Amino acid sequence: MVSFARILRWFLLLVTLSVIGFAVWSRLRPQPVHVVVKAVESGLVEKLVANTRAGTIKACRQADLSPGAGGQISLLPVKKGDQVAANTLLVELWNSDLLAQIELSKSEGRAAAARSVASKYQMEKARRDAERLQTLHDKALNSAQDLDSAKTSLAIHQAEYTTALADVATSQDRLQVLAAELERTRLLAPFAGIVAEVNGELNEYVTPSPPGIPTLPVVILLDTSCFYVSAPIDEVDAEAIKLGMKTRVTLDAFGERIFNGQVRQIDPYVLDREKQARTVQVEVSFDSYAGTENFLAGYSADVEIVIDSRANVLRIPSQAVLDGSKVFVFDPQDQRLHERKISTGLANWEVTEVLSGLRAGEQVVLSTDQAGVKDLADATRGEDP
């Protein structure tokens, strides 16, 4: 018979081997992957288009102004940062010669007017003389020669009066020409705004830009009572954009604050600039100017254009979707991951609409790039973000 001691030794050996085997199996078995998950929920999903490069805040009106003529700056009553009303004098060039010519032309006009009055009196006298001689001739009290002389004199005075009136009109026209030339030496604000830049000093000479050679404007004037955003949109996305579509604008200078607006203009052509993607320039207006009081023209801005939206639909974070049609679902019952095919609808870089393949409350894996994430992998769940 087998002794009790021998049986005990075999039993202890078996237990030891079992413990060692379990330890080796535990050591070699795949460890559960720790995943971050998010529950499938109902909510709003929007299809969005965004600018490819930073957009720019622009004043609703900007004028790059220079005098219409060249000359020496004699008056410069404004400086950078000044707030001016419409028709305020911004720059005046030396124009004393034109002012003198205007005074001379006014004097000549007054003389021409006086000559026209004298000529009118002479014409009226000649008409009365001709009428009196005509009456006498009808009664055979004077000769035909006297009547003919009177009529000729009347015609001459009528012509002289017409010439005098033409001289008056010519003088007025000359004044208008001189006034136009004077106006070219004066730069007035076309609208109320703020002087953004002044490129000139007193006594400096300014010249109009030669054809094809742009020069700096003497004054840049901005109307900052309102603003808009100009932003480049990739040509691929441009076709879907329509006037009036809702937009959201954010500015680096204003943190995460969102300004609502709408598309007000879409350029009818594509910009093709070297070393840049082809884009279409889009302008966005703001629904309200409340909060834009501290805007500065030139701020960088980002624009999101809402192409389409659906409310109260199943949605998941877009980072959970792989290859556009599959996700990993964490099953808390068997503590495993399950690959699932899904059908998607609207999507943006944050959330994606789920048309089929998932139910509300199921938990999809967000950390899909983590090692060990695969179908039927053991897993433990992390906190929902």
Choose the final residue of a domain: 197, 216, 235: 216
pLDDT for residue 58: 93
Residue 176 sits in the same domain as residue 110: yes
Do residues 179 and 105 share a domain?
A: yes
Cα–Cα nearest to 282, from 273, 271, 292: 271
Residues of the chain with pLDDT under 70: 1-4, 6-12, 15, 17, 19-30, 147, 212, 274-275, 382-385
Q: Is the distance from CB of 248 to CB of 76 less than 8 angstroms?
A: no
* Residue-level pLDDT at 19: 65
Q: Let me know whether 87 and 193 are in one domain.
A: yes
When the pLDDT of each residue in the chain is averaged and rounded to a whole number, the result is 87
Convert 218-228 to b/e letters by CB count within 10 Å (16 or more is b). bbbbbbbeebb
Whole-number pLDDT of residue 143: 77
Same domain, 209 and 73: yes
Please report the pLDDT score of residue 136 as a whole number.
74
| 210 plus 131 within the same structural domain | no
Q: How far apart are the first and last CA of the chain?
A: 68
Query: Same structural domain for residues 24 and 159?
Result: no
Q: Which residue has the tokens 């070393």?
A: 275
DSSP state of 68: S
Pair 345, 236 in one domain = no
9-20 pLDDT, tens digit per residue, is 666 677 676 766
| Structure confidence at residue 154 (pLDDT) | 77
H-only helix segments in the chain:
4-28, 96-138, 144-183, 235-238
- Identify the three-state secondary structure at position 41: strand
Question: pLDDT digit string (tens) for 81-104?
Answer: 999 999 999 999 999 999 999 999
CATH number at residue 82: 2.40.50.100
Residue 205: count other Cβ atoms within 10 Å of its Cβ: 11
**Does 193 share its domain with 72?**
yes
Tokens of 375: 């179908």
Counting the structural domains of the chain, the total is 5
Nearest to 362 by CA among 54, 1, 39, 32: 39
| Cα–Cα distance, 385 to 379 (Å, whole number) | 17
Contacts of 63 (CB under 8 A, 6+ apart): 190, 191, 193, 220, 221
Q: Which of 264, 291, 309 is the last residue of a domain?
A: 309
**Residue 292 shares a structural domain with residue 227:** yes
Q: Which CATH number do you get for residue 281?
A: 2.40.30.170
Tokens found for residue 357:
């393949």
81 lies in the same domain as 200: yes
pLDDT at 23: 59
Looking at the fold, whether 137 and 248 belong to one and the same domain comes out as: no
Domain boundary among 276, 309, 342: 309
Same domain, 101 and 177: yes
The pLDDT of residue 72? 93
How far does CA 208 lie from the centroid of its chain? 28
Q: Please report, for residues 6, 11, 12, 27, 333, the alpha-carbon distance to residue 19 in angstroms, rounded to integers and kept in the order given.
A: 20, 12, 11, 12, 28
Note down the domain range covering 176: 96-184
